[in-house]
């Protein structure tokens, strides 16, 4: 390892920024030289730039601006762009986050170039390979040199896939670090007033391919959401992905349904914090509602974050089940309070990750998964 090693973070979509910010801050505190590569997978200001500002991330060394497209076209553009950047900067370690196409492309490029990699949020599994993210997760974990797991179940999944346990470290959830850091700023009132919402409302986030990529699925989902609006007004900050399809299926502004553009990190979580209910098909939102104590209904047949279900804050539902489940959750009230969070959701995951990376860069020998739990 050279005297002043360089760590690059590859970020492509909003969840990546949230997971990376605590790691970047902690590595900065340890004096590690680093830089961010923004692939531009989320490419407009509402989907990326505002997150850099909200999370205090430094300006990226490069922005590839790949934009949207089919999985093949987007991944191909990412492979070409990332190869050029990695060759140019010659990093000692590349850190990837989550399960988006930028994650997959970076891990493949580095594997071909012989550049070591680390995966933050390793070991999550939905066991549904029709999800593009599941394929990305499996490939990434099979190639990464350091794997940072959020929960004990991830350790068992990685072991079952034959991942060397010496590569794996149980560190907690860096997305929760960002949420804890933002808590003092999360005031629902200004956002509610700006959007013209009533005091009691629900939030929806809907973009999964299985829910929006066919007219039939989109109509079924929209019909279910409209049933929920009969119980409570719903605001949907709508992802560019599937926007047209959902609008064609009837997800349009109405008396009890408010469609808005994507929100920044602080604004969105402020909105969620004040909600009586969240309806989502996102992964990270399931975790954020767990911390905020907001009941969550996930419109999916499975989740790679089962800890949110076993913890009692989240429930998986089909579109047909949604209205009845929403009625029950609204009647039951708040979810489990934040002080009863899952193990290692303590705001220190970024510090644990940074310690392991710094030790690895020094060439220190590392104990497997239990090390970071003990040292926390």
* 270-289: b (≥16 Cβ within 10 Å) or e: bbbbbbbbbbbbbbbbbbbb
Cα(207)–Cα(263) distance, rounded to whole angstroms? 15
* Alpha carbon distance 189, 199 (integer Å): 9
89, 169, 207, 239: which one is catalytic? 207
DSSP per-residue letters across 270-318: HHHHT-SEEEE--SHHHHHHHHHT--EEEESS--S-HHHHHTTSEEEE-
- How many Å apart are CA 358 and CA 243, to the nearest integer? 42
CA distances, 299 to each of 214, 237, 241, 318, 319 (Å) = 16, 16, 16, 6, 6
3-class DSSP state of 178: helix
Pairing mode, if any, of strands 33-38 and 62-63? Answer: parallel
Contact 117, 145 (CB under 8 A): yes
Query: Scanning the structure block, which residue is given the tokens 């340890």?
Result: 30
> 3-state SS of 4-55?
CCEEEEEECCHHHHHHHHHHHHHHHHCCCEEEEEECCCCCCHHHHHHHHHHH
Q: Residues 330, 232: contact at Cβ < 8 Å?
A: yes
- Closest residue by Cα to residue 21 from 56, 45, 50, 59: 56
188-195 and 265-273 helices cross at what angle (nearest 10)?
Answer: 100
Phi first, then psi, for residue 248 (nearest 5°) are -60, -30
Separation in Å, CA 288 to CA 14, 296, 345: 14, 10, 11
Please list the residues that pair with 294 across neighbouring strands: none
Does the annotation count 207 as an active-site position? Answer: yes
Q: Which residues are catalytic?
A: 207
């Amino acid at each position: 390892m050279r005297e002043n090693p360089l760590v690059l973070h590859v970020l492509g979509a909003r969840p990546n920024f949230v997971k990376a910010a605590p790691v970047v801050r902690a590595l900065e505190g340890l004096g590690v030289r680093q830089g961010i590569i923004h692939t531009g997978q989320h490419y407009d200001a509402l989907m990326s730039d505002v997150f850099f500002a909200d999370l205090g991330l430094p300006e990226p060394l490069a922005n590839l601006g790949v934009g949207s497209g089919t999985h093949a076209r987007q991944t191909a553009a990412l492979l070409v762009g990332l190869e050029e950047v990695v060759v140019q900067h010659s990093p000692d370690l590349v850190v990837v986050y989550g399960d988006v196409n930028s994650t997959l492309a970076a891990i493949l490029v580095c594997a071909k170039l012989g550049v070591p990699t680390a995966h933050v949020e390793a070991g999550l599994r939905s066991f549904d390979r029709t999800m593009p993210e599941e394929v990305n997760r499996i490939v990434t974990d099979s190639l990464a040199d350091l794997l940072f797991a959020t929960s004990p179940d991830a350790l068992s999944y990685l072991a079952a896939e034959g991942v060397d346990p010496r590569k794996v470290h149980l560190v907690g959830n860096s997305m929760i670090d960002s949420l804890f850091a933002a808590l003092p700023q999360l005031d629902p009132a200004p956002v509610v007033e700006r959007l013209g919402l009533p005091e009691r409302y629900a939030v929806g986030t809907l973009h999964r391919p299985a829910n929006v990529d066919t007219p039939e699925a989109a109509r079924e989902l929209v019909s279910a959401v409209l049933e929920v609006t009969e119980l409570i007004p719903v605001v949907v900050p709508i992802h560019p992905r599937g926007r047209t399809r959902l609008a064609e299926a009837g997800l349009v502004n109405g008396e009890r349904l408010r469609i808005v553009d994507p929100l920044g990190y602080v604004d969105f979580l402020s909105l969620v914090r004040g909600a009586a209910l969240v309806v989502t098909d996102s992964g990270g939102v399931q975790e954020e509602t767990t911390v905020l104590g907001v009941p969550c209904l996930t419109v999916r047949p499975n989740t790679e974050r089962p800890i949110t279900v076993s913890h009692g804050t989240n429930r998986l539902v089909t579109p047909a089940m949604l209205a009845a489940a929403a009625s029950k959750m609204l009647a039951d009230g708040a979810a489990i309070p934040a002080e009863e969070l899952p193990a290692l959701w303590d705001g220190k995951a970024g510090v644990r990750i940074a310690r392991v990376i710094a030790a690895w860069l020094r060439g220190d020998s590392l104990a497997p998964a239990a090390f970071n739990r003990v040292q926390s």
